[in-house]
Amino acid sequence: MKKYWAILTTRTQEDMAYRANYFIGALFRFLPLVTSIVLWYAVFKSMGGTHPKIEGMSYQNLIAYTALVYISRGVSSMPGMTRDICNDIKDGNLNRYIVRPINYSGYQIVYRLAHKLVFWLIAAVTFPVIFFLLRHDFTHQIQPEEWVAFIIALIIGFWIGMLFSLTIGLLAFWFLEISTFLYVISTIEYFLSGNLIPLNLFGPKMFEIVGKLPFSYEAFWPVLILLGKVAQHQLVSILLWGIGWVFFFLIVINILWFLGIRRYSAVGG
């Protein structure tokens, strides 16, 4: 446990050392939120009517959604993780981990946790300010069971984000030059997680599919639960489906690692 603690603190220090860089980054992360608010305002104004709704979402709902997505995305996104893993595999850095008494996947997870820790330390200051400013758009009275489901969905989202990044990263065992592929994947992941636009706005037919994909847990579902848009009888099945995805990725990673490491040592790194 101690060695993982060392990774955690070193990473945090690294972040702190460039404080200005970090704080500015944390502050301006909310800029796209401004654009979204402005756009939704214009859209709803152009729609006319007294209480216009898009697929059951009111203006307030959409603003609240756009703001809350920062929480779920903050939990589930793993910036740079896939790239780091690919580089480790490509440059032969993996040998360092194989010879040391440390589990590579474990190392990666703790390393990311450290990054998240700093992120959340700063978020603890910035998020409440944003939510306070937008307090009138949070119209739904959140029920206790929704809080519980929200927390569980967040945890599922964290693991799906982590495990999906790991899965893609391990593909570097087979494909050497995949930087572009990573870009494509992360862009699609961003879109299909409901980051840009709530998945239920895709229309009923499309939503039937994209709502079932693992990405939807990285941003969409936790927020939708918090908005009170998920009926109680659906909560359990949605969460179970997400847990199913987590196990699916765990199995895939184990297979990939098992096959990959054999190939790795056979080729000689």
Partner 1 sequence: MVQIKQLFRYIRVFGYMFLNCLVREMQFKINFMIRLLAESLWLFLMVAYFLIIYKHVHDIDGWTKWDMILLLGTNHFINQIFEGIFFENCIKLTDNIRQGDLDFALTKPMNSQFLVSVRYTDFASIMNAVVGLIMVVVALHKMHYVPTWSQDVMYAILILNGILIYYTFMFSFSILTFWMGRANNLFDLYYQFSTFSRYPANIYKGALRFILWYLIPMLVVANCPVDVFKRTLSGVGMIYGFIVGFLFFIMSTFFWKKGLAHYRSASS
Partner 2 sequence: MSIIEVKNLTKTYLIQKRKPGVIGALKGLFSKEYTKINAVNQVSFQVEEGELVGFLGPNGAGKTTTLKMLSGILYPTLGTARVLGFLPWERKNEFRKQFALVMGQKNQLWWDLPAQESLFLNKEIYGIPSSAYYRILDEMVELLNVKQLLSVMVRELSLGERMKMELIACLLHSPRVLFMDEPTIGLDVVAQKNIRDFVQKYNKKNKITILLTSHYMNDIQALCKRVIVINYGQKIFDGPLAEIIEKFSAHKLIKIVMNNPKFSKEQLSEFGEIVEWESNKIVLKVDRNQIASASSGLLNQFEVSDITIEEIPIEDVIGEVFSNSERHMKNMVLGEAK
What is the end-to-end Cα distance of the chain in Å, rounded?
Answer: 28
* Other beta carbons less than 10 A from residue 191's beta carbon: 14
Give the nearer residue to partner 1 in terms of CB position, either 201 or 243.
201
Tell which residue, 236, 86, 255, 243, has the closest CA to residue 156.
243
Under rule CB under 8 A, residue 121 binds partner 2: no
Q: What would the DSSP string read from start to end of 150-183?
A: HHHHHHHHHHHHHHHHHHHHHGGGT-S--HHHHH
Torsion of CA 33, 161, 230, 35, to 10 degrees: 10
Give the nearer residue to partner 1 in terms of CB position, either 45 or 263.
45
Give the nearer residue to partner 1 in terms of CB position, either 107 or 202.
202
How far, CA to CA in Å, does 100 sit from each of 25, 83, 103, 166, 173?
34, 22, 8, 20, 20
Give the nearer residue to partner 2 in terms of CB position, either 58 or 126.
126
Give the nearer residue to partner 2 in terms of CB position, either 17 or 99.
17
Residues in region 186-245 near partner 1 by CB under 8 A: 187-188, 191, 196-197, 201-203
d(CA 53, CA 59): 7
Q: Which residue from 1, 2, 31, 101 is in contact with partner 1, where contact means CB under 8 A?
A: 31
Q: Which stretch binds partner 2 (CB under 8 A): 9-17, 49-57, 109-117, 125-133?
A: 9-17
Q: Which two tokens stand for residue 170?
A: 């391990």
Give the three-state DSSP class for 217.
helix
- 16's contact among partner 2, partner 1, none, with CB below 5 to 8 A by partner kind, is partner 2
Q: Which residue from 3, 9, 100, 247 is in contact with partner 2, where contact means CB under 8 A?
A: 9
Q: Which residue from 1, 2, 17, 46 is in contact with partner 2, where contact means CB under 8 A?
A: 17
Residues in region 18-37 near partner 2 by CB under 8 A: 19
Q: Which stretch binds partner 1 (CB under 8 A): 103-111, 125-133, 137-145, 185-193?
A: 185-193
**Binding residues for partner 2 (CB under 8 A):** 9, 12-13, 16-17, 19
